[in-house]
Structure 1
């Protein structure tokens, strides 16, 4: 019988290890292949396992193993963990029987919830435009209907004005400094010629333009040494300001251009969420928050990150820099932010960001991604840093239930506890599911908590 061969787990990350432990808790035999070659994988599949889970952190590797497994045993249940949505869509077309799960999609709602309010465990926009908020209730979870957030028009106007005055991007700062400096010299020179020397406004404008163009006034210059000194100094300053303006333009043309001076990509200043780390998880979180009506600004330190192209295409405002830079956090308005979400792929980096945020904005709401390092959860609990979301626990719960034949709607993690959402909208604690000898979720979900 197929079930006698147990389950085949491919991969060597935290999700693979936790999946093995969860299946062992239900006394299910397993075979673990951390990084098998073609012959090793073919030999393991020859025993017709009850199910196969490909749980690697490299999408290309996952794709290769999934195609190989489907080629050898096309009728064995297959669960594949893939972060990139494009790859998952293509694999779904190639292998319709394959169940593909994206940790980024699974965790988006659980990460977005605490960004809205402390009591919200998870939040997701419904097709009817309402917000499904999950809150703690009587030791379990319950649903609450919420409304999509809408920033006040006054705040949006102030953000647009602030984009013309203050920006954390070095290239844009140089551009604006040069532009505003040139305009200031033009305005002062025009006013001096118009009101002090009584030149006609049009003539005064032409003469002022001559000064900032560093061509001087020639015989049209007003008499006296004072204006001669002023115009000379103004032309010297114009050379410096023009260089700054040109450097800023070049930087914006050749650089990643992740934020705008005007328009929808202007960096928000108040009531926004700062998302540190723009990998697949960070990108999905930004999109979830934007769907919920919450303004966001992303922070990415790798100028060659693959998702920067998508960030630009989706018109999500972002900056390049390290999320642990206190100066950058101050410029991004961390003290006025709704929340700061540290969702990089390295748990230790997320902890470093949390410490930097505490130094800049002690009362800021913090949301942290964890799960790769076993000891991070205890450290975060000890320091009381913020809302912790264990991505590995979320993915593990989903994979195990699917391997057991269930069809969970989603997974919600509160930090120490993980709940599986059943098709009828109820929640069951993951320990109850893993230790139960009954059918998996989807076949029988009647023991869950009511949705409301």
Structure 2
């Protein structure tokens, strides 16, 4: 496996492939960088951490391959290839012409596209996983690269072709989980890649309450969720954490622990279009202020009262009375000389109302013009805003989370230091309030109405900035719900313990974007039908569709016998005819098709070789099913 990248996702993916899937990994990293952010660890730091090592000429052998790992089970070091850019020479040194899969994880879409075309030419049968932020361009490039593979290898099997190129976005993968963490906390709803599954996180049941098991229990949350000394949010080995895929006995005997259950299964609805303020679609409430609308209502009421009075005091019919009132209002009627005193008084009153109408019309025109001009400017948070989410950081991750929050119709206020950040134009276009400024400076969070906010999402690329913003926000609102982006697991554990001790009544969650995205990238590199993944605290459950044939853990066994606690669990059975199945179940959802899946299987159903099942698995359990890992570990 070859991984090319210039930030923390490449490190996390390489480690995932080595530790979980026991693959030989070659990592191509820039060699001219000395320092980096926590989310972009330089190669020197990776090497010091023992994640990267060079093979000696003796270990590589004449063919340049790594020694066999199957006998001793010892993890191979990740071989490093230093190159400023993924040139043809660098890819050949990494062995792309002999590799099974290549991941291109550079932050620049253009670099990834050029490298993908080059790699496809060097190895037409290579499995490509490309990181792309531009989703539309990524779809076109996926089709183009698959077509290039088909031209170079006309006899390629359909299943192999559909897995030959996968375009993913770490921002799109992590955004739903990040948004759900801040929005609903312990009652969050998470979909696996927006495709099939809905998982709900529930608090421990009270005394005498009967918990709803749903379709099945996916995980028991950390017993330290409310314990200041706990380690929620950590991936470090040896710490207390969530228990993934427990058996029924463990679920029934567990006390004081929340659960993540598979509650319902449904097809994901299409994303709602974001409301945009424009000349053709501006709402009346956005065009005119409340005071102006009340003044206009007063004018209309006055005209109505004058019309009714004219009908009562004169012999005019209602239509003629309204006509006379409007003429007097606009001062275009003849003076009521020689007419009754009541008619003269009504004419004077109508003229007075008309004088008040003129400035009102001018004010309305100016307000409407200012509203349309404001679509090109950043909105400020409204005065009475409350119950909103404060989103810190409008980079590529923050922009995707903003879209997700607006699709859920959650009020948002963004805070960003860089006026040219990627998400600024998006926030301006959909009318989301933005506060420009350094969040570490005094007054910035107050401007975002943090004291009346529902939650804070700190998603900058700096762990220290996210932590400082969290601490500052907690001084303004001690019970504020916080979800902050932290890369390092040990640092996340320390932060969680400290915040739980200082603010035990508040909900705190930490998430790593690279940790949320790496399983999806790793699954695509393995060529399996990975449907998606959901985070359980800082751990991951992977959902995949696997054929029963070729897996002795499934073939000939019942559903209950095939279940292995802490490793995998069968969730559904594909009941469609084998000839009509799409080789890639996830691609069927992307194309608008809905496979015939049977959920809530009977435990005694015997699995047949021609069956295909949807499973939930830990990363170690999936690796064991693929024949790549050691014994399944419940802490994976």
Q: TM-score range with shorter-chain normalisation?
A: 0.5 to 0.7
Partner of 2:122: 72
Gaps of 5+ in 2: 30-84, 147-163, 203-217, 221-242, 245-259, 269-284, 296-347, 501-507, 546-570, 572-613
1:394 matches 2:516: yes
| Pairing partner for 1:383 from 498, 506, 519 | 498
Instruction: Give the distance between the partners of 1:403 and 1:17, measured in 2 at CA.
Output: 15
Gaps of 5+ in 1: 1-6, 149-162, 165-174, 184-199, 213-241, 442-446
Would you say the 8 A contact 1:83–1:104 is kept in 2? Answer: yes
| Pairing partner for 2:2 from 5, 8, 12 | 8
Partner of 1:438: 626
Cα pair distance change 1:426/1:329, threshold 3 Å: farther
Would you say the 8 A contact 2:199–2:261 is kept in 1? Answer: no
Q: Describe the SS at the equivalent of 1:133.
A: strand
Partner of 1:407: 529
Cα pair distance change 1:77/1:327, threshold 3 Å: same
Partner of 1:109: 176
Q: Describe the SS at the equivalent of 1:99.
A: strand
| Pairing partner for 2:105 from 55, 71, 80 | 55
| Pairing partner for 1:343 from 447, 456, 459 | 459
Trace 1:417-432 onto structure 2 (pairs within 5 A). Answer: 417-423=539-545, 424=571, 426-432=615-621
1:83 matches 2:133: yes
Partner of 1:259: 379
Would you say the 8 A contact 1:268–1:297 is kept in 2? Answer: no
Partner of 2:248: none
Cα pair distance change 1:416/1:128, threshold 3 Å: closer
Give the CA RMSD over aligned residues.
4.7
Structure 1 residue 367, shift from structure 2 partner: 1.2
Structure 1 residue 337, shift from structure 2 partner: 2.5
1:181-240 per-residue CA deviation (whole Å, 9 max, x = no partner) reads xx9xxxxxxxxxxxxxxxx7677789999999xxxxxxxxxxxxxxxxxxxxxxxxxxxx
Higher helix share: 1
| Pairing partner for 2:435 from 320, 338, 342 | 320
Instruction: Give the distance between the partners of 1:353 and 1:335, measured in 2 at CA.
Output: 13
Trace 1:285-296 onto structure 2 (pairs within 5 A). Answer: 285-296=401-412
Cα pair distance change 1:379/1:127, threshold 3 Å: closer
Would you say the 8 A contact 1:51–1:77 is kept in 2? Answer: yes
Q: Describe the SS at the equivalent of 1:119.
A: helix
Structure 1 residue 379, shift from structure 2 partner: 3.9
Cα pair distance change 1:41/1:127, threshold 3 Å: closer
Cα pair distance change 1:113/1:37, threshold 3 Å: same
Cα pair distance change 1:76/1:134, threshold 3 Å: farther
Trace 1:6-405 onto structure 2 (pairs within 5 A). Answer: 7-25=1-19, 26-34=21-29, 35-45=85-95, 47-96=97-146, 97-120=164-187, 122-124=189-191, 133-134=200-201, 137-138=219-220, 139-140=243-244, 141-145=260-264, 253=373, 256-259=376-379, 269-313=385-429, 315-322=430-437, 324=439, 327-371=443-487, 373=488, 376-384=491-499, 386-405=508-527
Larger Rg: 2
Instruction: Give the distance between the partners of 1:412 and 1:11, measured in 2 at CA.
Output: 24
TM-score normalised per structure 1: 0.66
Would you say the 8 A contact 1:298–1:317 is kept in 2? Answer: yes
1:259-311 per-residue CA deviation (whole Å, 9 max, x = no partner) reads 389xxxx7882332222222222222222233334333333332222333333
TM-score normalised per structure 2: 0.48
More off after superposition, 74-83 vs 382-391: 382-391
Instruction: Give the distance between the partners of 1:211 and 1:54, measured in 2 at CA.
Output: 62
Structure 1 residue 53, shift from structure 2 partner: 0.9
Would you say the 8 A contact 2:389–2:413 is kept in 1? Answer: yes
1:87-134 per-residue CA deviation (whole Å, 9 max, x = no partner) reads 323322322331111111111221122223332465249999996535
Q: Describe the SS at the equivalent of 1:36.
A: coil
Would you say the 8 A contact 2:393–2:460 is kept in 1? Answer: yes
Instruction: Give the distance between the partners of 1:146 and 1:361, measured in 2 at CA.
Output: 37
Instruction: Give the distance between the partners of 1:130 and 1:408, measured in 2 at CA.
Output: 13
Instruction: Give the distance between the partners of 2:472 and 2:353, measured in 1 at CA.
Output: 49
Structure 1 residue 319, shift from structure 2 partner: 0.9
Aligned length: 371
More off after superposition, 106-115 vs 129-138: 129-138
Cα pair distance change 1:128/1:433, threshold 3 Å: closer
Would you say the 8 A contact 1:298–1:318 is kept in 2? Answer: yes
Cα pair distance change 1:429/1:106, threshold 3 Å: same
Q: Describe the SS at the equivalent of 2:530.
A: coil
Instruction: Give the distance between the partners of 1:127 and 1:431, measured in 2 at CA.
Output: 23
